[in-house]
Amino acid sequence: MNFNQANLPFVINPDVNAQVVVIRVCYQWMINYNYLIIDPQTRAAVIVDPAWEFDKLNATIAQHQVTLRGVLLTHSHADHIHLADRIAKTYACPVWMSQIEIEHSQFDCHNLQALELPLTHNNGEALSVENLGSENLNSEKLNSNASAPTLLNPFTIEGLTIYPVLTPGHTPGCICYWINGHLFTGDVLFAEGCGLCRNEAAAFQMYDSLAYLKQQLTPQTRIFPGHSYGREPGQLFANVLRENMYLQFKTKASFSAFRLRKNQSKARLFGFS
């Protein structure tokens, strides 16, 4: 696969070397990875999918002497939203989730902000990153029931430009967040696999979402998932692309058949590390 950075929708800011702090949190048998992303110049930070251990998260924020400016939620499952409301109230910061996920799950919390689908041009084409500043825009949103993977409108917190990528499949409104060469994938993409899908339609969506990521990401992108099955978070996408079997399927039908195969081992599905 050939990559041309000039044609990709994500723009790396060479002046910001975003720091990623990996936080492993647990509740009984459940193990999640939360991430604190820091702008080293301003000490502003955002946190991804805070859950389970409030004191640990609070101590990490204090240890790194940052100002928490927001919570990024990849989707609405309990192990990814557990502390969103408490963190938002404690730090008086907004919480972001896709509008589709909010509507589907009816999730709500303090200071919740919906990440909407992109604006459209007058000709109906989706707005791209390159022309966010265009004056010739139609304020009408795309159909809120759209299920194709797509880049949502980027936003900036201090020196951190955050690119939300709608990647449905695990849930209807799953989002990955790309921040200066790092992709935070929740339950969409793991180093070792991908998230569960509830039925064939969802598996088809997941296939499309993974195909979109394969098309858009450079080999140097670091992947930070919500769970690990043995490999440390922050794997190069080049390695994930080569070694993750779920990225090797050539058709939706073959991907769906494997993802939904019967008698999958629960010990392996939930064998977090």
Report CA Rg, the chain. 18
Q: Which pLDDT score is estimated for 17?
A: 84
Could you tell me whether strands 112-115 and 95-98 are parallel, antiparallel, or unpaired per DSSP bridges? parallel
Tokens of 262: 């019967």
Instruction: Decide if pLDDT at 43 tops 80.
Output: yes
Query: pLDDT (tens digit, 9 = 90+) per residue, 52-69?
Result: 999 999 999 999 999 999
Residue in this structure with the two tokens 């723009």, named with its chain if needed: 11
Which residues does residue 46 pair with via DSSP β-bridges, in sequence order? 37, 70
CATH of 16-116+144-269, one of 1.10.10.10, 3.40.50.620, 3.60.15.10, 3.30.300.20: 3.60.15.10
198-257 pLDDT, tens per residue? 999 999 999 999 999 999 999 999 999 999 988 999 999 999 999 999 999 999 999 999
Per 3-state DSSP, the chain is made up of helix, strand and coil in percentages (nearest 5) of 25, 30, 45
Report the predicted TM-score, pTM, of the whole model to 2 decimal places: 0.86
pLDDT in tens, 105-146: 999 999 999 999 875 433 444 443 333 332 322 333 333 345
**Beta-bridge mates of residue 36:** 21, 47
Q: Exposed/middle/buried for 230, CB within 10 Å: 0-12, 13-18, 19+?
A: exposed
